[in-house]
Amino acid sequence: MDYAQIVEHARIWANDILVWIGFGTVVGLLAEMLMPGRYRGGAIATLGMGIGGTIIGCGVVSFFSGGHRVTPITLLGFAVSTGGAFILLFFYRLLGGKVIREGDGDYRNGPRRPFSFWRWRSSSRYANRD
């Protein structure tokens, strides 16, 4: 390999990496807008989720299409990248306890006490309401 080929390969790799980062950001933002609820991740988490979704989505399509390369620049690549980021965000919320919550309550802030109508009715604020 001569110097010109090495420079050409480095240029292609740099271009691909920048395209994946750019589309990963757009895909991450789109997946956050599609998923209902609040997402508490920051800009780096959105970027990582978008790039991960792009890798997963384009990789799955490439695997099932017989090795055909799918880039996020195409419409198919953008759609499957958004789907991959959406799936990553869903599993992030699932494992974080936002979709399915086990037990009696949120144990990060202490156990939840059940609501009691009689405790509410007999409180000093509502004692002289009749």
Q: What is the mean pLDDT of residues 85-103?
A: 74
Mean pLDDT of the chain: 76
Question: Cα(24)–Cα(111) distance, rounded to whole angstroms?
Answer: 39
The more confidently predicted of residues 116 and 8 is 8
What domain count does the chain have? 1
Q: What range defines the domain where residue 31 resides?
A: 3-102
Question: Cα(55)–Cα(27) distance, rounded to whole angstroms?
Answer: 11
Any domain includes 60: yes
Any domain includes 114: no
| The pLDDT value given to residue 94 | 79
Q: What is the pLDDT of residues 37-91, one digit of tens each?
A: 777 777 788 888 888 998 888 888 888 888 777 778 888 888 998 899 889 888 8
Any domain includes 108: no
The more confidently predicted of residues 110 and 39 is 39
